[in-house]
Chains A and B, each alone.
Chain A
């Protein structure tokens, strides 16, 4: 057991134990654990009298494995779609690979050993070759080679595959789950997935998200857990084994609340964000990282209205590379499958500091060296991000948004850099998609010249937090001023109104991505002003949708 992950007995009950993992999907599951064992160590080396017969056994097992994979492919096609099912087609081809077959046949012939052992050793060798490759995608293929080899071994040993779970729904616990294992599981009997290994992009994680059930990875669960009652808390990323009565009651209550929320979601899901008088507006999600996409989709976001790219810089000890950024942006774009994803370029400085930028300490950082001001000064850093964004735009519907704008000149410079990046990519033969450009309206200056700015871009997104602080000259961070900080101040609302008018006069759509967007007491006011889009945190989407559907924009 890994002591780092073990939080020990929790006060109150002798047996209650808590384990930490990384959540890949939120939710609560309560039920018995089912530990799926791996039997790959069960293969013994034995000497055989007639190697030719072993070769025939292997060939038959291989053909049967291919036939099984063909069936799994068909099942997966129905359940998880073409893209996820394709891997089983590749598995069939791997079983026909001549290097793989020759290695097994040679081992049987020259060493006079059993087919099981020859398959196991060859599988290990090939999977090590992939594990050693300098590419995360190829590294992950090591599991595929193990998977096909284990299938052939299981057939040779006359064993049935996984999938028999009994009648009661269970929490599945395993070292790692191969795609062929997860697809064979009876989905109606699975409450949650817990794995020791795997990544947030593994098949299991993707499956959990599709099935809408909580799942944790990287959990050092105990081997003796089989059959014991456990709780999976997807939000906190913990597994609690043998909970005491209080904990169990608390979680049963939370689960009921979740279900209530889910019921509301079901009721409002798929319904348009349309007012009583028939005006429809876009309702998008604000996210701060790749992991939030699942919540955005689960809450029926029409797109991503604000993807804060800072997390890439804040989580890193050095400047994130173009490749790292490209992967993150691409993942979000792909997961949103053609829905709009508005990514805000780097917005650090002020209250968000990053060590390796070596920014000097300022007396008044909110009005200091931050966001686009840094980007237009540190062109190398900015261009790395723009290149990653344009490359990722090929995989979905990406828009780019610049923060902290106060002048037309800044927008022109940023646009020039975008053009430069596009030219570079064209020269390199790298594809990119159609990208809408927009700006944050969060300074009074930007509001006052919004008619000029609107001619330069395709959309505005109003950042009400900063706009309020700059308009009212009230430091957000100063608690002594909380009593006079009025987010409904008429000056702020007039700023918003003016921005919408200027935007519309010049063909820009206008959204709100600040906290005010989720303030349901203002939803009707915004609709009246003609706001085209509201971007709110995922958990607020359905509440705001509810408000929109009960509003009248002509009032």
Chain B
């Protein structure tokens, strides 16, 4: 399992649209992908779950990838977070 902790810098936090794009990215991989905030963990392939975390600017989130293609998934999703959120 791979884990990565990231602090959101986008002033809007994770709004509907970025959540949608992230979910789309996560769905490309077969491994399990989750995001958690303050101990609450959700499936990162489900838009309602990701939006339901209510992630705001300055919040710390933990991204986890667990499964066959976890290395590739982590590398791409980490990059995506850093570039877009």
Q: Chain A: residues with CB nearer than 8 A to chain B?
A: 86-87, 89-90, 93-94, 96-100, 126, 129-130, 133-135, 137-138, 141, 144, 391, 394-395, 428-431
Contacts and interface: CB of A to CB of B under 8 A. Distances in A.
B36 interface: no
Contacts of B7: 429
Nearest to B12: A137
B64 interface: no
Contacts of B78: none
Given A135-B56, A138-B54, A141-B51, A98 B46 contact: yes
B45 A89 contact: no
B58 A144 contact: no
17 contacts: A87-B16, A89-B20, A93-B20, A93-B47, A96-B47, A97-B46, A98-B43, A98-B45, A98-B46, A99-B46, A135-B13, A135-B56, A141-B16, A144-B16, A429-B7, A430-B57, A431-B9
Contacts of A90: 16-17, 19-20, 47
Closest 3 CB pairs of A and B: A93-B20, A90-B16, A97-B48
A97 B52 CA distance: 12
A157 B41 CA distance: 37
User: At the interface, is chain B mostly helix, strand, loop or mixed?
Assistant: mixed
User: At the interface, is chain A mostly helix, strand, loop or mixed?
Assistant: helix
Nearest to A92: B20
| Residue among A100, A135, A138 with the highest chain B CB neighbour number at 10 A | A138
B24 interface: yes
Contacts of A141: 16, 51
Contacts of A134: 54
B12 to A, nearest CB: 8
Given A90-B17, A98-B45, A126-B48, 16 more contacts: A89-B20, A90-B19, A90-B20, A90-B47, A94-B48, A98-B46, A99-B43, A99-B46, A100-B48, A130-B51, A130-B52, A133-B54, A135-B54, A137-B15, A394-B11, A430-B9
A298 to B, nearest CB: 27
A86 B45 CA distance: 19
| Residue among A99, A395, A430 with the highest chain B CB neighbour number at 10 A | A99
B49 to A, nearest CB: 6
A73 to B, nearest CB: 12
B24 A93 contact: yes
Contacts of B65: none
Interface in B25-73: 43, 45-49, 51-52, 54, 56-58
Contacts of B43: 98-99
B47 A391 contact: no
Nearest to A140: B16
B85 interface: no
A437 to B, nearest CB: 22
A133 B52 contact: yes
Contacts of B11: 391, 394-395, 430-431
Given A141-B16, A428-B58, A430-B11, A93 B52 contact: no
B73 to A, nearest CB: 18
Contact of A89 (B17, B48, B54, B58): B17
A133 B24 CA distance: 24
A93 B57 contact: no
A133 B56 CA distance: 12
Contacts of A429: 7, 9
A394 B9 CA distance: 13
A129 B52 CA distance: 8
A87 B16 CA distance: 8
B23 interface: yes
A177 B20 CA distance: 23
A330 to B, nearest CB: 8
A429 B8 CA distance: 10
Nearest to A98: B46
Contacts of B57: 430
Given A129-B52, A430-B11, A430-B57, A86 B46 contact: no
A94 B54 contact: no
Contacts of A144: 16
A93 B23 contact: yes
B56 to A, nearest CB: 7
A130 B57 CA distance: 18
